[in-house]
């Protein structure tokens, strides 16, 4: 299943590579991508898919949140609810 993540990133050395590298390193395929210029920043839209069932989209989002100079501007479909308890397996 695909999810689309929207991210605003600084126009800084390596910022795009850093983002894409993180997504792939954390176990996700990139199935589609678009990039638009917003002056000092860039808006990136990435369509991602976990390599296996063990890949958690929510965790990928939190890893992206840790990047310096990157901001998630919309949450993936498996929405971040602000309530971590939703992750507890039944």
Partner 1 sequence: MTVATAFKDAPATAPQSGARLLVSTLERLGVEVVFGYPGGAIMPVYDALTGSSLKHILVRHEQGAAFAADAWARATGKVGVCMATSGPGATNLITGIANAMMDSVPMVCITGNVSTAVMGTDAFQEIDILGVTLPIVKHSWIVRNPADVPAVIEEAFHVARSGRPGPVLVDLPKDVQVGMTADPYGFSIPNTTAELDWAAIAEAEALIRQAARPLLYVGGGVKIAGATEALRDLAGRTGIPVVSTLNALGSVRTDAHGYLGMLGMHGTRAANEAVQESDLLIVLGARFDDRATGKLNEFAPFARVVHFDVDPAEVGKLRATHVPVIGDLKAGIEALNPGPLAIQPWAERCTRNAATNAYRYDAPGEGVYAPALLNELSLQAGDSFVAACDVGQHQMWVAQHCAFTRPEAHLTSGGLGAMGYGLPAGMGAKLARPDAHVVTVSGDGSFMMNIQELATLRRYGIALKIVLLDNSSLGLVRQWQELFFEQNYSEVDLSDNPDFVVVAQAFGIEAFRVDARDQVSDGIARLLDARGPCLMHVLIDPKENVWPLVPPGKNNAEMMHGDSRFEGDM
The residues of the shown chain that bind partner 1, judged by CB under 8 A, are: 10, 12-14, 17-18, 21, 25, 56, 58-59, 62-63, 65-69, 84-85, 87-89
User: Cβ of 89: how many Cβ atoms within 10 Å?
Assistant: 3
Q: Is 66 helix (H, G, I), strand (E, B) or coil?
A: coil
What is the spatial distance between Cα 51 and Cα 62, in angstroms, rounded to a whole number? 18
DSSP state of 83: -
What is the spatial distance between Cα 41 and Cα 45, in angstroms, rounded to a whole number? 13
């Amino acid at each position: 299943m695909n999810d689309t993540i929207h991210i605003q990133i600084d126009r800084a050395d390596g910022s795009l590579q850093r983002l894409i590298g993180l997504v792939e390193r954390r176990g996700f395929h990139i199935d589609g991508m678009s990039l638009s210029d917003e002056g000092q920043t860039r808006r990136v839209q990435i369509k991602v898919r976990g390599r296996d069932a063990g890949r958690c989209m929510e965790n990928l989002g939190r890893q992206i949140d840790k990047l310096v100079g990157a901001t998630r501007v919309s949450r993936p479909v498996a929405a971040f609810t602000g309530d971590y308890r939703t992750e507890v397996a039944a």
